Structure formats: structure tokens, C-alpha cells
Amino acid sequence: MSMAVRRKKLLWFPIVLMCILWAYAYNDVMSSNQAGLVDMDRGIVHKLLIILISLLLGYIFWGKKSAIYSISKNRHNPVIVLVLIFLWVGLVGVLNQVDLGALLTHLLISFWWIITYLFAKKYTENHIEEFQQILRLYIIMYFVYIWVNIIARNQIQTNFERDFAITVYIYYILLFIPFIYMIQRNIIRNALLIIAIAMVATSYKRGTIICLPIMLIAYEFVQSIIKNKWFSFIRRVVFLVVAIGVFLFLVNETSGGFLSERFAKEELESGSGRSDIWDIALTAIANRSFLETIVGTGSGSSVRLLGTGAHNEWIEFLFSFGVVGVMLYASMCIIWISECLYYVKRKAEYAPHMCMMTTYLLIGGLFSGFYFQHTSFYFFSLMGVCKALNDKQLLSTCHQLKKHL
């Protein structure tokens, strides 16, 4: 079989997945209240999600080597804590007799992250030679979400008669930045990064504007550790800070000072109502019984009390899934940090990308939801991809050392 025919045979599966993800992205933005639409039917979104999960699950069990049987060999095993979160969400929901729709949604998403990580890891392991072709599909999805952000902003401005639209879809752009850094050609990588910076700057979303430079600095810092090029680190960080500063200055000027108003002391203290939401949630937690404090009140309980999520993943997990839930969430964060440190110590090529994404997890979770947000598909996908690529590199290095002994 020729190489061209082999590549076509291998890439049909991610292309099908990309088409489903495109359909999902379009139907999501055309039916979400986060995109300026109210009381829309989201049935097609849920059906596409089930199709996507089924395909990922099918691939995990397809073929001679299954990721299910190899995970126990990993030094760090994030799948274990993801499974524990899935089981705990289900148990707490049953004990509290929560709304079935809310419980099934959280269980479905929790299961989605398990198989997304396993799929991304296994597919990359099996097709490392074709990774650059697979990466192109991720970049196509990056452009899809640029388009989605434009649609969401237009719908919010039109339906709510606002001069400046602020939408959570900008978080997708942040999650594609580590994929952008995987591109080998500098001119393409830098062009796509500039577009991402421009999108974030014009989003007026404070969480993403704060998170973006920290993610970029984290990448450059880890890269300098691996390559021992500290002068390059300082030079690139200065360039990034200046570039982001220029973008923010221009956006603020063209918006008539709206961006600076978003970062005014009064706005930051209120956090668009976040401080009030946190106070209400923490007060409710403080007044609970001992059992409710440990177990939580289940999926959807924060929305019933607050009318929205907690806008902080630590408070969300503590409120909905109790002390046990927040300990499981903390365990997941610790595992990802441990993974990053493990690969940085061994100077793995894709350690900086994992560190950048873990930075998003730690910083983004302070301002917004994470675990039950659909955006996290690309978090778990990248972590699986990087795990496979780093392990392959370390294995090759080990074999080369053995040959010289």
C-alpha cells in the first residue's frame, strides 16, 4: 500500500469527527443563550454530542491495541480521577434526587472527557507520522470558532441592542493557542497567534484578557528551561507584552474607553456580579448541615439558587459536590501539574504546550466554569495528544541511549 493511500485511509476518521464538531459548533452558537438567543431548542446539539461520544468510544475499543488496557502502565493516570469524578457526580445526584436532565448532562460531559483524553492519546500513538495532517484539522476548527465568535457577537449586539458584545465563546480561542504553537512554520504560527491576540483583545472578556498573557509567558518560561535560552525568553516575553499592550490600547481607543471601564476598580470589585454570586454561594455552603457540606447538593443546584453557575470552578464543585468533590477536582489539577513537571524535567518537546494548557485550567477556573463547559473538549484533547507525543519522544531517546551502551 502506497504512503498516499495509507494516509487517506488513516485520516478519514478525524475528518469525520471534524465535520461533526463543525456541525456541533454551528448548532451550538445558533441555539445558545450565551450567543444572544433565548429558549431555543438544543436537541440537535445533544444528539451531535452523543454521536461524537459514540465515535470516540468506538475507536478506543477498535483495533488490536486499546488505550483501555494501556492506561494502567502510565506513571500518572488522570483517567482514574476523571472516572472518580464521573462516579461521584452520579452518586451525589442520586442521593439528592436532582433533576434528571441536569444529572444526565453532567454525567454525559464527565464521560466525554474520559473518552476524549483516551481517544486523543490512542489515535496520536497509532498515527504519529501523520500528526501534522491531524494538526491541520485542529487549526481548521480554530477558524471555525473564529467564525462562531463573530456570529455570537453579532447575535448579542442585535438581540440585546448592545454596542459591545461579550461572549464566553472566546474561551475556545484561548484553548486553540497551544495547538497553534505546535505549527512548525514560524510565519503561519505567528500570524495565527496575532489573530488570537486580536480576538481576545476585542472580546472585552476580562478573564481571557488576564489569562492570555499568563499562558504565553508560561509557554516561553518552560521553553527556556528546556532549551536553556533565557535571553530568548526575556526577548520574547517583552515582545509579547508589548504586542498585547498595543492591541489593548488600540481596542480601548476605538471603543471609546469601554475596555478600560471593564478594568476599572468598581467593575473589578463587582466582577459583573461575580462577587455577589460568590457571597451567596459561600453563605449557603456555610449554613449547610455537615453531611451536605461533605457531599454537596448535586448537579444543577447552583443554578437553582443563583440563576447561573458559580463562575468559579472551586466554588462550583464545593457547592454542588461538596468537600469530596472539590478534593477530586484538586486531585485532577495536581495530576496535570505533576504531568507537566515530569515532562519538563525530561525536556520533552511538548511539555510547554501542556504547561500552557494547565495554566488555562488553573487561571480560567478562577473566573469561569471549566469542567462542565464544552470548551474543555480541546483541553482534554490536547493533553492526550501531548502525552502521546512526549512519551514517543522519551521512548525514542531511551532506545538511542541503549544502542550506545
Q: Is 129 exposed, middle or buried (0-12, 13-18, 19+ CB in 10 A)?
A: exposed
Q: Is 239 exposed, middle or buried (0-12, 13-18, 19+ CB in 10 A)?
A: exposed
> Among candidates 117, 89, 84, 118, which has minimal Cα distance to 104?
89
Residue 10 has pLDDT above 80, yes or no: no
Q: Which three cell numbers stand for residue 161?
A: 441592542
How sure is the predictor about 387, in pLDDT bands with cuts at 50, 70 and 90?
very high
> Among candidates 206, 196, 205, 212, which has minimal Cα distance to 166?
205
- pLDDT per residue as tens digits for the range 264-290: 755 655 556 788 889 999 999 999 999
Q: State mean pLDDT over 364-384.
A: 92
**CB of 342 closer than 8 Å to CB of 80:** no
**CB of 45 closer than 8 Å to CB of 31:** yes
- pLDDT per residue as tens digits for the range 178-202: 999 999 999 999 999 999 999 999 9
Residue 351 has pLDDT above 70, yes or no: yes
> Among candidates 49, 42, 58, which has minimal Cα distance to 24?
49
Least confident range of 204-208, 250-254, 271-275, 325-329? 271-275
**CB of 103 closer than 8 Å to CB of 298:** yes
Neighbour tally for 4: CB within 10 Å: 8
The domain containing residue 184 runs over which residues? Answer: 3-403
Please give the biggest Cα pair distance in the chain.
71
Residue 76 has pLDDT above 80, yes or no: no
**CB of 189 closer than 8 Å to CB of 209:** no
* Chain center to CA of 115: 15
| Residue 104 confidence (pLDDT) | 93
Q: Is 158 exposed, middle or buried (0-12, 13-18, 19+ CB in 10 A)?
A: exposed
| Residue 3 confidence (pLDDT) | 47
Alpha-carbon gap, residue 242 to 258, rounded angstroms: 20
Q: Which three cell numbers stand for residue 343?
A: 515532562
Buried b (16+ CB within 10 A) or exposed e, 51-76: ebbebbbebbeeeeeebeeebeeeeb
**CB of 316 closer than 8 Å to CB of 369:** yes
| Residue 65 confidence (pLDDT) | 62
How sure is the predictor about 250, in pLDDT bands with cuts at 50, 70 and 90?
very high
Alpha helix locations (H) across 97-205?
100-126, 131-159, 170-180, 186-201
Least confident range of 222-236, 347-361, 372-386? 222-236
Least confident range of 181-195, 226-240, 321-335? 226-240
Radius of gyration for the alpha carbons in the chain, expressed in angstroms and rounded: 22
Q: Which residue has the cell 476524549?
A: 116
Q: Please tell me the total count of domains within the chain.
A: 1
Alpha-carbon gap, residue 156 to 153, rounded angstroms: 5
How sure is the predictor about 405, in pLDDT bands with cuts at 50, 70 and 90?
very low
Mean of per-residue pLDDT scores for the chain: 87
Alpha-carbon gap, residue 146 to 133, rounded angstroms: 21
